[in-house]
Amino acid sequence: GKQVEGMKGTLDKVGSSWIGFGAAIAGIVIKARQFIAAANDAELANARLAQALRSNGQYTRANVEALGKQADALSKLSGFEDEAVTQAQAMLASYRLNTDQIQQMIPAIVDMGAALRIGPEQGAMLVGRAMEYGLGVLRRYRVSIDDATEAAYKSADQQGKLELIQRLLQNRFADAARNMGDTYPGAVNKLSVSVGNLYEAIGGLLKYALTPLINVLTSAFNWFNDLSTPVKAVAADASLVDFAVKK
């Protein structure tokens, strides 16, 4: 009798400890996953940009850093996520624009996105389509184009076309990103961007720092899961009884 009671008491303590430990770890893991997800989103956006630049013969560390600084600055100005701006940069690179041309066009695209409430990537796609199919693409978005501009566009080279598109967008949407950022919703968006950047920074550290801990915890939980079914059942029953008594 005493041995059975002693065993039950031991299992009660083990079960309670494991449930409490598991709940605490679960909470930590959920938050850590949010941090790591933010870091992963940033990493994927940067990887997409790097790949687009490579396919364009434009990949250098200096180019990536310059575009990253631009995305960060425009994000803080407008309240768009920096990943959204990075994706827009990658979209332009996929249309064979070089780094200087991308930097030239992105501010006007962010302004257009702010004014029309579309994402920067969608705005970059519209510019790319205008490069391929003509300025009529932009007319659908309330961009005024006169006959002289249309004629000049048709005879222009790539750089000339970009400059015409940039001018049209600036005439229609100039300072829209800054104006949006100065509103209350814009301020909320910029706060969200700041929090997101913090999550990215923490997530980047956790991705490397947590790997050994995750391996240890995995081994510990595997050990518990490998216990015989009767032992785990008794431990669980004892923990539930203890929880009910404490309530």
Average pLDDT over residues 43-50: 91
| Structure tokens, 234 | 């008794």
Q: What is the distance between the alpha carbons of residues 38 and 41, in angstroms, rounded to a whole number?
A: 5
Full DSSP string of 10-30: HHHHHHHHHHHHHHHHHHHHH
Does the structure show a pLDDT above 80 at 112?
A: yes
Which of 14-23, 82-91, 200-209 shows the lowest mean pLDDT across its residues? 14-23
With a pLDDT cut of 70, the percent of the chain lying above it is 79
Average pLDDT, whole number, for the chain?
A: 83
| Structure tokens, 196 | 């997101």
Q: What is the distance between the alpha carbons of residues 93 and 103, in angstroms, rounded to a whole number?
A: 11
pLDDT tens for each residue of 134-188: 998 898 888 889 999 999 999 999 999 999 999 999 999 999 999 988 998 888 9
Does the structure show a pLDDT above 50 at 69?
A: yes
| Residues 106 and 89 sit within 8 Å (Cβ to Cβ) | yes
Phi-psi category of 57—alpha, beta or left, where left has phi over 0 and alpha has psi -120 to 50? left
Average pLDDT over residues 175-202: 87
Helical segments of the chain, H only: 2-55, 61-78, 82-94, 99-116, 120-133, 136-139, 147-155, 158-173, 176-181, 184-225, 229-246
Does the structure show a pLDDT above 60 at 67?
A: yes
The whole-number pLDDT of residue 34 equals: 77
Q: What is the distance between the alpha carbons of residues 134 and 144, in angstroms, rounded to a whole number?
A: 13
Listed residue (151, 146, 66, 53) closest to 104, CA to CA: 66
Average pLDDT over residues 110-128: 93
